[in-house]
Structure formats: structure tokens, C-alpha cells
């Protein structure tokens, strides 16, 4: 367990500390979401609709959380979800990777990350590289080959994005790069958060808004918005494209963004080894139901043909157990660890992972389960019409 200094007991407390520590624009960038925020809210609130069927005697003295995902043995069923440029802490994704390695779990690294695949894979040997369909096939293949050479154990293809970024509560202004003009614009809110500013000041570096993992060869890394523009200009991905890239990659291959059983079946047909039931954390098409509502129908559609993961709305260990009981093999977390990092750097990510591990353990105890592999839908109280059906 990490040091008890500045320890937070819940993800909600990590979020409160992150909001207190971060400049307003940086915090709003983490909250994200689109339009009215229907999906981002439902991702979290849907878990509260699920109940448990607890047991009270003959409970197991030991509970096992270990599992295997995409060929990697992990100590508990929580994986770091790939998220974009992380300007909340100087070490960014490297700090996250170290915390994940210390917890015995895997790290998903975004192609829009602020730290390179080489830096991250060097500190966590269970790293999966995430790609968007950006650029030509030759460019995509070059990035995948670079990730493989760096030590990435698997590839994650994220497909759920419609380029909608409008928010009713005001989207923050994100600069193309941190220069004098940007510094002057953000100075009033940054100076009100001296602890965050000091974290960067003592490293002698400004927040990095470039995307080193999209660079090919010796070319300079594009800025986040430069990469985003290239992405928007790339023709939409097809299932034939997915199958092609899967053929080029000789390791575990996942598709992230599945919400419909038909897409789950198409992923199986394309030869994928895993899928993530996800709506991009509510950062996509607003009005999409919570990913946990889509999970049962997806699991029923593909059975044991492919590993099914769930991403979206995880805030406590009991949420993880609910997802596993509905058929997920593991979950991915995004905002939860970002809030932990914003609150206390690498220690905060470690803290987040330990909060979830402890929550899983206590939930297994309450359900009378000695292993996560014993969980089933019979352990849950599921309201009528909670889950999406194949036709809904």
C-alpha cells in the first residue's frame, strides 16, 4: 500500500482535490463530455441502478482478483485506459505507467499522449499502444511497428469518435502550444493554483501539448491540434481497414468503442482478440446510453469468442464487480486515475488503484466469492429495462 500521507479514501475525494489543485481550464478538460452531458452522467449513474445479493456466513477468508487480459497477467481486473495529452502533472503518462506497474496491472497509452511509447514501455512491460485511424495505411503501419519495437504487448484501435466537442457548460480554451501569448491568457487562473504551477516550475519545463507517438522517423511531433486536424481529414475507418491492421499486427489486438452487438460480431469476424464496450467516456455522441447498459447484450452476442472489457463510469471497486458480474473480463479507467494524478502525482494514481482494489475485495467478501471468476449476473439485482437489448 502507498504511504498514508495525503491518502484519499474515494475517487470522489480525488476529484475534489483535483478541482482544488488544477487551473479551471485544465480541470474542465479532464471533465470533458459533450453537448448536454447526458452520456457522461449516465455512465456514472447507471451503476447506482444495479444492486447486490449479499451473503452473510461461510465467507471466504481470501479473495483472488488476478486475471489475464490480452495475454498479460494482471493482479486485479483494472487497466489504465488510454487518454490524450496529460498536462496535469510533469511526468504525465510515465508516472501513470510506473503506478500501474507497481500495482501489477497494464497501461494503455494513447497515440495522442504527451510521452512516447518508448518512455512508457520502459517503465511498464504490460503496455498496450492505442491508435486512432489517422493518416494513411503506411503511416499507421509505421506507428504500429514503432510501438512493437518499443515493447508494446498489444494494440488498441479506438473507433468511437464523431468529433463533437461542444459543451453546454463551456469548453475550455486549449492553446496550440504553450507560448508567451498562451501564458498571458492563462496567467490569472494559473497564478491562483500555485501548487500546480510549482510542479512544472521545478522541472524547468512547460506542459507539453505535442503528440510524440504520431511522429514517424525523424519528423517533429505534431501539436495536439495539428494531429487532430489530420485525424479529421482522414476518411472514416471501415471494418476492412480494421481487418487489414489486425493482419499486420501479430499480437493481441483490441477494438475500443463497441456499443452495439453487431459491431461486437464484426470485431470477432475481423480477428480481434478483445473489445472494449465504451462510449468514449461520454466524449462522443451525446445521448448514447451508459456503456454498462450495453455490456450484457454485447457479452451475449459474442460469448467466449473474444475478451470483453468495459470502459466508462468506474468510480469504486463495487462498480468493477458489477461490470465483471455482467460479463466483462476487466475494466478500464480514465478520469479516475487522471484525478488521482492531478491530486497527488504518481502517488495519487497508486492511491486510485488501491482504492479500487480494496473496494473489489470488500465487495467479493460481501458476496461470498473467493474469486472474481465466480461472479455472475445472479449476484446482482438488475432492474427491468436496465440493459440495452440487441434491438434497443
Using alpha carbons, list the distances in angstroms from residue 81 to 97, 154, 265. Answer: 11, 13, 23
Long-range contacts of 366-370 (CB under 8 A, 24+ apart): 366/52, 366/54, 366/55, 366/59, 367/52, 367/53, 367/54, 367/55, 367/321, 368/54, 368/55, 368/58, 368/59, 368/60, 369/60, 369/63, 370/60, 370/62, 370/63, 370/64
In whole angstroms, what is the distance from residue 160 CA to residue 84 CA? 14
Q: Are strands 72-74 and 78-80 parallel, antiparallel or unpaired?
A: unpaired
The catalytic residue among 260, 280, 347, 373 is 280
The rounded distance, in Å, linking the Cα atoms of 82 and 153 is 14
CA–CA dist 258, 279 (Å, integer): 7
- Catalytic residue check, 280: yes
Active site residues: 280
Amino acid at each position: 500500500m502507498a504511504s498514508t500521507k495525503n491518502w484519499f479514501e474515494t475517487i470522489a475525494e480525488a476529484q475534489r482535490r483535483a478541482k482544488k489543485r488544477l487551473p479551471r481550464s485544465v480541470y474542465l478538460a479532464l471533465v470533458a463530455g459533450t453537448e448536454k452531458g447526458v452520456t457522461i452522467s449516465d455512465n456514472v449513474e447507471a451503476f447506482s441502478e444495479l444492486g447486490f445479493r449479499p451473503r452473510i456466513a461461510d465467507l471466504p477468508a481470501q479473495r483472488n482478483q488476478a486475471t489475464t487480459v490480452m495475454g498479460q497477467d494482471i493482479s486485479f481486473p483494472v487497466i489504465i485506459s488510454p487518454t490524450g495529452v496529460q498536462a496535469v502533472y510533469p511526468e504525465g503518462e510515465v508516472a501513470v505507467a510506473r503506478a500501474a506497474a507497481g500495482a501489477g496491472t497494464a497501461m494503455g497509452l494513447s497515440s495522442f499522449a504527451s510521452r512516447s511509447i518508448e518512455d512508457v514501455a520502459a517503465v511498464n512491460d504490460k503496455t498496450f499502444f492505442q491508435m486512432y485511424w489517422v493518416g494513411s495505411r503506411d503511416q499507421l503501419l509505421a506507428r504500429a511497428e514503432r510501438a512493437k519495437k518499443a515493447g508494446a504487448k498489444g494494440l488498441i484501435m479506438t473507433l468511437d469518435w464523431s468529433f463533437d466537442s461542444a459543451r453546454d457548460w463551456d469548453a475550455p480554451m486549449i492553446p496550440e502550444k504553450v507560448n508567451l501569448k498562451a501564458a498571458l491568457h492563462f496567467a490569472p487562473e494559473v497564478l491562483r493554483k500555485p501548487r500546480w504551477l510549482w510542479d512544472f516550475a521545478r522541472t524547468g519545463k512547460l506542459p507539453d501539448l505535442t503528440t510524440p507517438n504520431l511522429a514517424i522517423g525523424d519528423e517533429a511531433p505534431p501539436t495536439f491540434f495539428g494531429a487532430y486536424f489530420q485525424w479529421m481529414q482522414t476518411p472514416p475507418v471501415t471494418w476492412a481497414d480494421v481487418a487489414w491492421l489486425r493482419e499486420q499486427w501479430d499480437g493481441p489486438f483490441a477494438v475500443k468503442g463497441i456499443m452495439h452487438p453487431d459491431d461486437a460480431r464484426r470485431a470477432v469476424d475481423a480477428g480481434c482478440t478483445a473489445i472494449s464496450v465504451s462510449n468514449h467516456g461520454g466524449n462522443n455522441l451525446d445521448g448514447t446510453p451508459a456503456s454498462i447498459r450495453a455490456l450484457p447484450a454485447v457479452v451475449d452476442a459474442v460469448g467466449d469468442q473474444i475478451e470483453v472489457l468495459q470502459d466508462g463510469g468506474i468510480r469504486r471497486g463495487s462498480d468493477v464487480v458489477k461490470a465483471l458480474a455482467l460479463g466483462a473480463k476487466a475494466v478500464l479507467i480514465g478520469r479516475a486515475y487522471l484525478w488521482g494524478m492531478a491530486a497527488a502525482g504518481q502517488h495519487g494514481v497508486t492511491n486510485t488503484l488501491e482504492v479500487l482494489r480494496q473496494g473489489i475485495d470488500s465487495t467479493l467478501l460481501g458476496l461470498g466469492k473467493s474469486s472474481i471468476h465466480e461472479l455472475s449476473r445472479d449476484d446482482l439485482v438488475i432492474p427491468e429495462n436496465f440493459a440495452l437489448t440487441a434491438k434497443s
